[in-house]
């Protein structure tokens, strides 16, 4: 007996057998494919944000030392390490290598130096071929204590310092070449993940370019400072009745501040400070010409400071018609304890002694090169025995960051606070004034001003 046929319904074939088994209920609803992609995108955005923040912090560094410190800290954060070591080897063999540790003291660095260079991952990164895989991906040593291929001395140092794994990465890029290498140490066996290696590799290539720029900038600054120092007196003269001390620091772009002290006939002494407008090699060259001209004029007519500055103004207009300069020249007779000085737009001297601390009242005058004919009256003062006359450039005031009236008040306060025991030593007076004016020191990278201080102490 055949089963009855089901009637045909549009879209349904009654010949297709129907399953008699009940459908298994769904316990979990499968995730939509878009959720996985969103998670991946969120991870990429997070990684890129972290990398952007770290590179921004690195780009904000203006000196090589701060950049190296930032690189070590950022690399440790990216690979998940706590300590690290960086070696910067510059191309010129005359410059010694720079070694910097993170979480490692001088004694720890000394222990690491006892390990043969070729036995460490950092050494292989530094000395290996630039096109080797290690130069791109770095070298991971996930178990320094258990790996039998590790140098015994290296294992001994690792046990002493308490690290069990390391990851070394070269500091190299196509444009800059290889500048050095860095290694980060893990307290437990392990190694960075593939994502961590990728991120720290991107960061290291960017850091290499930044370090190369800072290295060239630092070399240029050092060359400018050397040239500036060569243009200034190599030593101060010894004249009976007066003792001298001077300090000069060139700004990062090289400026035109200068000083001079030269013995003159009849046991006299000429003191000068000045500042040429602008910065860089051209300003330094102009400074050298002005200083040489002032020395010649001082020998011929030093007893008349106004005539010396008038001749200097003529020299400036003939040789540097588009440039201005400030200058102050003082003709000193230590035996008579008299000083005759004239200034051209320059800051007034400061007299410091046991009974007074005051600025010398000089006549307001224009800088050299601003008027068709410069002229200003001279001023005479008589320092008492034991008093110090302080000459300086406005860079000392500007480096404070204060308004000029506040900077002058600050300088007066700094000079007045010199301990009584140090007031008879011009070098001690200079040091105290500088520490009081610039507590952060003269090496602040955010200031482009030159600083000149010249102290003359009269016995």
Asked if residue 155 is part of any domain, the answer here is: yes
**Helix, strand and coil percent figures for the chain, each rounded to 5:** 40, 25, 40
- The Cα–Cα gap between 81 and 413 comes to 49
Q: Does any domain span residue 25?
A: no
What are φ and ψ of residue 65, in 5° steps? -65, -45
Strands across the sheet containing 255-264: 255-264, 268-279, 325-333, 338-344, 379-381
Give dist(CA 66, CA 446) in Å, integer.
13
212, part of any domain: yes
Specify the residue for token string 């007045």: 416
Q: Whole-angstrom distance between the N-terminal and C-terminal Cα of the chain?
A: 141
Same domain membership, residue 386 and residue 282: yes
Same domain, 244 and 215: no
Tell me the sheet residues that pair with 352: 357, 388
Is there a single domain that holds both residue 181 and residue 259? no
Distance separating alpha carbons of residues 271 and 338, to the nearest angstrom: 13
Q: Which two tokens stand for residue 159?
A: 């046990």
Q: What is the CATH number of the domain that holds 449?
A: 3.60.40.10
Q: CB of 237 within 8 A of CB of 272? A: no
Q: Are residues 158 and 243 in the same domain?
A: no
Structure confidence at residue 32 (pLDDT): 55
pLDDT tens, 303-323? Answer: 999 999 999 998 888 888 888
Claim to verify: residue 69 and residue 132 sit in the same structural domain = yes
Helix (H, G, I), strand (E, B) or coil at 349: coil
- How does strand 268-279 pair with strand 350-352? unpaired
Any idea which residue has 């300069």 for tokens? 325
Q: Which domain holds residue 217?
A: 61-223
Is residue 200 a part of any domain in this protein?
yes
Q: Which of 108, 88, 84 is nearest to 96 (CA)?
A: 88
The dihedral sign for the CA sequence 288, 289, 291, 292? positive
Q: What are phi and psi of 143, to 5 degrees?
A: -150, 90
Question: What is the distance between the alpha carbons of residues 239 and 332, in angstroms, rounded to a whole number?
Answer: 10
Among candidates 459, 410, 414, which has minimal Cα distance to 433? 414
Same-domain check for residues 210 and 240: no
**Minimal CA–CA distance to 69: which of 109, 110, 105, 99?**
99
Contact 437, 396 (CB under 8 A): yes
- The pLDDT of residue 18 is 45
Whole-model pTM: value is: 0.63
Do 99 and 118 belong to one domain?
yes
Total domains in the fold of the chain: 2
For residue 185, tell me if it sits in a domain.
yes
CB atoms < 10 A from the CB of 125, how many? 24
Residue with tokens 């018609």: 321
Same domain, 74 and 106: yes
- Residue 450 CA: distances (Å) to CA of 274, 284, 375, 427, 431: 11, 11, 26, 19, 16
Report the 10 Å Cβ neighbour count for 238. 9
The span from the CA of 18 to the CA of 287, in Å, is 103
Note whether 244 and 218 are same-domain residues. Answer: no
Tell whether 13 is covered by a domain. Answer: no
| Chosen domain end from 180, 195, 223 | 223
Where residue 78 sits, what CATH number does that domain have? Answer: 3.30.450.40
User: Are 188 and 267 members of one domain?
Assistant: no
Between helix 305-319 and helix 281-301 the angle, nearest 10°, is: 140
Residue ranges, the chain, pLDDT below 50: 1-21, 26, 445
In a domain, 318, yes or no: yes
Question: What's the pLDDT score for residue 93?
Answer: 52
Among the candidates 166, 189, 223, a domain finishes at 223
Which tokens in the block code for residue 382?
Answer: 């008589």
Residues 132 and 249 grouped into a single domain: no
Residues 446 and 355 in one domain: yes
Token pair recorded at residue 63: 């000196």
Residues in the chain: 459
**pLDDT, position 169:** 94
Q: Where are the alpha helices (DSSP H) in 302-344?
A: 305-319
**201, 223, 245: which is the final residue of a domain?**
223
Residues 6+ apart with CB under 8 A from 349: 328, 330, 341, 359, 360, 362, 389, 390, 391
- Tell me the backbone φ, ψ of residue 129, rounded to 5 degrees: -60, 140
24, part of any domain: no
């Amino acid at each position: 007996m055949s089963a009855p046929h089901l009637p045909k319904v549009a879209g349904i074939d009654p010949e297709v057998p129907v399953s008699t088994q009940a459908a298994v209920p769904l316990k979990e609803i499968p995730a939509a494919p878009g959720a996985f992609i969103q998670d991946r995108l969120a991870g990429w955005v997070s990684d890129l944000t972290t990398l952007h923040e770290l590179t921004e912090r690195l780009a904000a560094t203006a000196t090589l030392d701060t950049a190296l410190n930032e690189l070590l800290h950022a690399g440790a954060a990216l690979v998940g390490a706590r300590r690290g070591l960086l070696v910067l080897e510059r191309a010129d063999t005359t410059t010694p290598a720079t070694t910097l540790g993170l979480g490692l003291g001088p004694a720890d660095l000394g222990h690491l130096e006892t390990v043969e260079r070729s036995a460490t991952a950092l050494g292989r990164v530094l000395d290996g071929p630039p096109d080797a895989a290690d130069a791109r991906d770095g070298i991971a040593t996930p178990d320094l204590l258990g790996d039998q291929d590790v140098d015994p001395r290296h294992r001994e140092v690792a046990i002493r310092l308490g690290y069990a794994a390391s990851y070394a990465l070269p500091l190299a890029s196509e444009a800059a070449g290889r500048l050095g290498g860095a290694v980060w140490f893990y307290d437990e066996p392990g190694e960075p993940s593939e994502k961590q290696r990728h991120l720290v590799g991107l960061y290291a290539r960017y850091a290499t370019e930044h370090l190369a720029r800072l290295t060239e900038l630092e070399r240029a600054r050092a060359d400018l400072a050397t040239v500036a120092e060569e243009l200034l007196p190599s030593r101060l003269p010894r004249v009976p009745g007066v003792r001298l001390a001077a300090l000069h620091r060139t700004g990062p772009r090289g400026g035109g501040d200068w000083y001079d002290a030269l013995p003159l006939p009849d046991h006299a002494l000429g003191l000068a400070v000045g500042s040429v407008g602008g910065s860089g090699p051209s300003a330094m060259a102009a400074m050298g010409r002005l200083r040489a001209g002032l020395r010649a004029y001082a020998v011929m007519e030093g007893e008349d400071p106004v005539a010396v500055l008038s001749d200097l103004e003529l020299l400036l207009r003939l040789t540097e018609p588009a440039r201005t300069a400030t200058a102050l020249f003082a003709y000193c007779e230590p035996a008579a304890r008299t000083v005759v000085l004239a200034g051209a737009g320059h800051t007034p001297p400061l007299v410091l002694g046991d009974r007074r601390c005051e600025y010398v009242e000089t006549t307001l005058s224009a800088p050299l090169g601003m008027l068709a004919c410069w002229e200003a009256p001279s001023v005479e003062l008589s320092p008492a025995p034991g008093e110090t006359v302080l000459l300086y450039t406005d860079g000392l005031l500007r480096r404070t960051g204060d308004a000029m009236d506040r900077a002058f008040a600050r300088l007066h306060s700094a000079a007045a606070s010199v301990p009584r025991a140090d007031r008879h030593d011009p070098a001690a007076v200079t040091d105290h004034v500088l520490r009081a004016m610039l507590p952060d020191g003269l090496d602040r990278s955010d200031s482009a001003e030159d600083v000149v201080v010249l102290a003359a102490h009269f016995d």
